Amino acid sequence: MNRTSSALLAATLAAAVLVAAPVESQAKLRVVTTTQDLAWFVRSIGGAEVDAANILKGFQDPHFAAAKPSYMVEISRADLLLYVGMDLEIGWLPLIMQGARNPTVMPGEKGSLDCSQFVTPIEVPVAGADRSKGDLHPKGNPHYWLDPDNAKQLARGIADRLTLLEPEQAATFKAGLDRVLAEIDRADTEARAIIAAGPVPPIVTYHVTFSYFFKHYGLQTAGFIETKPGIPPTPSHVAGLVSMLQGLAHPPVVLVEPYYDLDVPRKLGDQTGGRVVVTASSIGGTDAVKSYRDLFVGIANAIVGK
């Protein structure tokens, strides 16, 4: 090899090192979330500095999931795991964690974030829930992301943890947090205006999914299709619900999450003259719900019939 060729080779190798080094130092933070809502918060706050994957889609029931090997692989590679908490994922996440064998994201480590710590739960059973009877919520209602105030606390908590793990990206995460907080405020304002314009009919839901939303906007639930959280409706329960609704001045709206069967809700609507609306309770729950604003405006519109 002559002197010119050697010099050219050396220059090429040096250039390769210069190109490769930044790629290594700028590796994205790998985040896995149990739900699509949490992934939206991570992506919106972290931007290009994070690589976020969610285990469940918004149209899937977060109470239940199969412990698939693909989920274990995702978590095995994660730098940070976010989960809703309050036992929402208790039936499936521990099995996936066991298979993932990633000490970085075990409870108590910086790579594990139970997002329920940022909110105050509602509907906490006074004497504790009885799982032997099917009650899913022994620590209170875990669907807390459907309250804008909780959502803002959730966003701040996620931004803090991202900053703890990647302090050099603090400015990026702060800018992302500001954008998310602004979107939550816009969503809150729009949803409140839609509900205020009304009319608001009696509201029936399948599960207690929307309780935080109702509490925030001062709405009441006329009844639930489930006999209690997690217990399917019995014929006698449905008959009693129909009788009660028929006695009201206005027909109800029946909100049904995308993952519940529509047979009972449709029968309820037929017998009461009410509307039955499949309503996303999470980002990605329907094709139209791609953001937090979409989620809140969608629920408000479903209630008033727009």
Mean pLDDT for back-to-back runs of 10 residues, the chain (306 residues): 39 35 62 98 97 97 94 97 96 96 96 98 79 70 97 98 98 98 98 97 97 97 93 94 95 97 96 97 97 98 96
- Amino acid type, 159: A
Q: CA dist 68 to 55, 58, 65, 113, 136, Å?
A: 10, 18, 8, 21, 22
- Domain final position from 166, 182, 198: 182
Give the domain range for residue 131. 28-182
Same domain, 118 and 228: no
* CATH of residue 286: 3.40.50.1980
Same domain, 115 and 173: yes
Structure-block tokens of residue 85:
């908490």
- Domain membership of residue 3 (yes or no) is no
Least Cα distance to 245 among 225, 223, 267 occurs for: 223
Least Cα distance to 57 among 74, 40, 44 occurs for: 40
Same domain, 103 and 220: no
pTM of full prediction above 0.85: yes
Residue 126: per-residue pLDDT: 80
Q: What is the rounded distance in angstroms from the CA atom of residue 249 to the CA atom of residue 272?
A: 11
Same domain, 148 and 92: yes
Sign of CA dihedral 214, 215, 217, 222: positive
Name the domain count of the chain.
2
- Domain final position from 182, 202, 233: 182
- Amino acid type, 163: T
Same domain, 123 and 204: no
- Amino acid type, 36: Q
